[in-house]
Structure 1
Amino acid sequence: MKGYTILLVEDDLMIGDLLQKILQREGYTVCWETNGKGILDFIHKIDLAIMDVMLPGEDGYQLSKKIKDLGLNIPIIFLSARTDMDSKLEGLAIGEDYMIKPFDPRELLLRIKKMLKTQYGTFTQIKHLSIDTEHNKVFNRSLNNEVPFTSIERKLFFYLFENRNRILTKEHFYEYLWQLEDRSQNIVNVHIKKLRAKIGDPTGEIIQNIYGEGYRLNTHIKNELKK
């Protein structure tokens, strides 16, 4: 489950620390906040939110309503010690799931995986690209065809995709794709250039060059494909 970014809003430091470690061990990127201050500034980068109900300041329900009001279709799982039916119904009316504390983290992980699969399926959309993560194929919807990758281009693209929204240095690419004897000074740049040409990304909006650091595949880009 690499690549997904999860927002965890939990003011209990013991629970928050435990969940963060468990989620990171599963390959998720975790943004852990103890309250809702400032989360709307980066919420568009989040794939799923785990929200404690009782929080300092605005509670989880209020924060989640603000997220939904932005028009972002982000799945939300509420965590709460409240066991009464009214609280459950309110949570399920706002979000997608409701778990009562204490709970087994294994159950939470299973619910997360099922929710992500339901929400995003095996396909991910990035602008005009449709990415099939089950079969490692990429389709250009504006041309209505599959992108004709070579073997190394496919490995390079999906390495970027598995680490999407993270900066990968040239050393990362060298270690993953090229043995010492195969390395040349411009080998990464040359293959990135070819990759951009094939996916229709001439300006580097999808595969972005982060000057002096490396490359990053961006997923949170407005889809401009006309229907």
Structure 2
Amino acid sequence: MARVLYLEDERDIGEWVLKDLTSRGHDVKWLTSGEGMDAHLSETDIVILDVMLPGLDGFSLGRRIKKDYQELPIIMLSARTSVEDKIEGLDFADDYVTKPFHPDELAARLEVLLRRFQKQDEVLELQHLLIYLKDGIVIDRESEMEIPLTGKQYHLFQFFIKHINQILTKEQLYEGVWGERYIEGDKTLMVHIRYLREKIEKNPASPTIIQTIRGIGYRVKA
């Protein structure tokens, strides 16, 4: 099962694709425009993106997604069949499907991309850690022991990994992990980062995995 973010403003096509992909076991979030898209990206495995949308078009939205989520696969959908349009789409997207299309074709292309990206990202090596992303397991390579993380600790660490090499503000982290607006002075995030460092860092007093970026926030650097 994949978590699919689907952007399509044509109701008939949207309902048809939603029904088909859901029947195949996928969890589909359907939006009719890019409004509200950012709130779902951190919990998405693949994006299906129509070109013609109200407001920002699919090309603009796709480039924005890839800028922040380089490892998130994108399938473009479009009635445009010109070579120029396909080249523009494939400049950032991972596949380009022209309308009309058969649901089996879209489902097959989705599965191919998921396998490709999951294979690339199945195990992440990060300093002395091996992170099995699909299973949510963190291993210390030196001791060969699993590092037990609570659900919230792993969710926090996973959010860092999905935004690896990016500097994240406290607001971005809190809203991304807790799903609530960050209130200045709240110590919840700081406490969870401290406990997470105690488990994954060789020296929690001088962390090298979760780096503090003074005056801004935090970063996990590959």
- Aligned residue number for residue 169 of structure 2: none
CA deviations on 1:119-143 (whole Å, 9 max, x unpaired) are 112826699564386xxx7764324
Distance 1:16 1:126, change over 3 A: farther
Residue 67 of structure 1, CA deviation:
1.0
**2:153 paired with 1:205:** yes
State the partner residue of 2:122: 123
Q: Give the Cα separation in 2 of the matches to 1:73 and 1:46.
A: 11
| Correspondence 1:32 to 2:30 | yes
- What SS does the aligned partner of 1:221 have? helix
- What TM-score does the superposition give when structure 1 sets the normalisation length? 0.61
Question: Which residue of the partner structure matches residue 150 of structure 1?
Answer: none
The residue number in structure 2 matching 1:222 is 160
15, 32, 45: which one aligns with 1:17: 15
Aligned-partner SS, 1:79: strand
Amino acid of the residue matched to residue 37 of structure 2? I
The higher-RCO structure (CA 8 Å, 6+ apart) is 1
Secondary structure class of the residue paired with 2:160: coil
CA separation in 2, counterparts of 1:112 and 1:33? 18
In the superposition, relative to structure 1, how do residues 66 and 85 fare at CA in structure 2: closer, same or farther (>3 Å)?
A: same
- Asked if the contact 1:45/1:220 (under 8 Å) is kept, the reply is no
CA deviation string 1:62-92 (max 9, x = no partner): 0111112224421111111111111111111
Q: In structure 2, do the counterparts of structure 1 residues 142 and 63 end up closer, same or farther at CA, with 3 Å as the change threshold? A: same
Q: Is the 8 A contact 2:139 2:147 kept in 1?
A: no
CA contact (8 A) 2:75 2:96 kept: yes
Aligned letter for 1:94?
Answer: F
Contact 2:8 2:33 in 1 (8 A): yes
1:5 counterpart letter in structure 2: R
Distance 1:203 1:132 in 2: 14
Q: Is the 8 A contact 1:7 1:49 kept in 2?
A: yes
CA 1:19–1:203: 2 relative to 1, 3 Å: closer
**Matched pairs, number:** 162
Residues of 2 paired with 1:39 and 1:126: CA distance? 30
**Structure 1, unaligned runs of 5 or more:** 148-197, 207-216
Q: Could you list the per-position Cα deviations for residues 176-225 of structure 1 after superposition, in whole angstroms to 9, with x for gaps in the alignment?
A: xxxxxxxxxxxxxxxxxxxxxx651157423xxxxxxxxxx788432386
1:50-199 alignment runs, 5 A limit: 50-121=48-119, 123=122, 130-131=131-132, 140-143=138-141, 199=147
TM-score scaled by length of structure 2: 0.63
Q: Structure 2, unaligned stretches of length 5 or more?
A: 162-196, 201-208, 210-221
Distance 1:110 1:146 in 2: 37
